[in-house]
Amino acid sequence: MKQEPITIEDFKEFFSKIVRIRTIEQAIAERYHAQEMKCPMHLSIGQEGPAVAISMQLNASDRMLSTHRSHAHYLAKGGNLNMMISEFFGRETGCSGGMGGSMHLIDKSCGFEGATAIVGNTIPIAAGVALSQKLSRTKNITVVCFGEGATEEGVFSETLNIASVKNLPLIFFVENNGYSVYSPLSPRQSSNRHITKISEAHGIKSLKGNGNNIEEALAISSEAVKYVRKKRKPCLIELETYRYLEHCGPNNDDHIGYRTKKEIDFWKSYDVISNAKKAIKELGVSPDSLEKLIQENTKEEIDNAFREATLAPFPKIERSISYEYA
């Protein structure tokens, strides 16, 4: 399928969004120690690229589902920052009514169908969402985001199978940061195992690239979305990326020893923001001034969101008996 060239506006949009998300996540990490946000946090610092690349190809009516590390997906899909921060504070103005926290964001107004803490849990749910799109004959598609650790769950292969058999308009979006909590790939998977080959064995078009490379991430995401929207068939994307902070929490965990300094230094030298800055500089745009402007505007957004969250009421006790499903 022929790909449209990436425009300078695409580069600027990508750069603006990853800088905004990074600035928000850093602010959350800095303020988490005040212990006003009571939920566990899985921050996306370092791996903002894939979320932005795929979301730039979607419209508000397309659906997205996510996992425990969902902030970047929610924000990139058009989620409301004030509602997200309020959710972290457990306030009723949160996107999940203050009842879900960081790992259970949901906001149907922007097409964010939900995130859950259970590894692989949203994969079959996404198949159901995509099936509903097929039955209603819409042109919309569904994207389900998850880490490579979720591909070890049985439900991954099961859902690949049904998506292929039913020709569902579904993108399996794998963010491969090389770790499942503190375990790297080598103790968990054969060196001959490839996610894309597993997908292809189910008859599903599969693409792989570097999520920290702006050109690759945008081109692959664009190709996949156009394919699924036109063919009404599933596709899998695997984008490599890297998280900088601990698996869960606002701190560095480099002292634990499960990853080497050499590895961390490599990925930080290949940071998605640095790569994007180089790319747009080559196009004649000043990345430093643009970055500063985005950071200043985002910091105003952040201050307002935290202020509103602290002033918002907690959910009423009666709400705890609502929205219960079995």
Distance CA 143, CA 126 (A): 7
Cβ atoms of 122 and 146 closer than 8 Å: yes
Q: Is residue 34 part of a domain?
A: yes
User: How would you classify the pairing of strands 179-180 and 183-184?
Assistant: antiparallel
Residue 323: pLDDT band with limits 50, 70, 90? low
Q: Is residue 324 part of a domain?
A: no
Q: Is residue 133 part of a domain?
A: yes
In angstroms, the first-to-last Cα distance of the chain is: 43
Q: What pLDDT sits at residue 112? A: 98
Distance CA 36, CA 130 (A): 37
Q: Closest Cα to residue 64, out of 180, 219, 193, 169?
A: 169
Residue pLDDT, tens place only, 228-275: 999 999 999 999 999 999 999 999 998 899 999 899 999 999 999 999
Q: Is residue 321 part of a domain?
A: no
Query: Would the pLDDT of 317 be above 90?
Result: no
Q: Closest Cα to residue 55, out of 25, 89, 18, 84?
A: 18
Distance CA 163, CA 199 (A): 11
Residue written as token pair 């050109």: 215
Distance CA 157, CA 250 (A): 33
Q: Assign residue 158 the CATH number of its domain.
A: 3.40.50.970
Q: Mapping DSSP to helix (H, G, I), strand (E, B) and coil, where does residue 150 land?
A: helix
Cβ atoms of 141 and 170 closer than 8 Å: yes
Q: Is residue 319 part of a domain?
A: no
Q: Is residue 247 part of a domain?
A: no
**172 or 316, greater pLDDT:** 172
Q: Mapping DSSP to helix (H, G, I), strand (E, B) and coil, where does residue 44 land?
A: coil
Q: Is residue 308 part of a domain?
A: yes
Residue 267: which domain range?
8-180+191-242+260-312
Query: Would the pLDDT of 2 be above 80?
Result: no
* 103: Cα separation from own chain's centroid: 12
Q: Closest Cα to residue 274, out of 63, 46, 122, 116?
A: 46
Long-range contacts made by residues 90-96, C-beta under 8 angstroms, separation at least 24? 90/38, 90/39, 90/314, 90/315, 91/309, 91/312, 91/313, 91/314, 91/315, 92/312, 92/313, 92/314, 92/315, 92/316, 92/319, 93/308, 93/309, 93/312, 93/313, 94/312
Query: Would the pLDDT of 21 be above 90?
Result: yes
The number of domains in the chain is 1
Q: How much of the chain, in percent, has pLDDT values that exceed 90?
A: 89
Residue written as token pair 């058009």: 78
Among the residues of the chain, which ranges form H helices? 8-31, 48-55, 71-76, 81-88, 122-135, 154-166, 195-201, 214-231, 261-269, 272-281, 287-311
Residue pLDDT, tens place only, 39-53: 999 999 999 999 999
For the chain, the C-alpha Rg in angstroms (whole number) is: 19
Residue pLDDT, tens place only, 175-213: 999 999 999 988 898 989 999 999 999 999 999 999 999
Q: Is residue 225 part of a domain?
A: yes
Query: Would the pLDDT of 1 be above 60?
Result: no
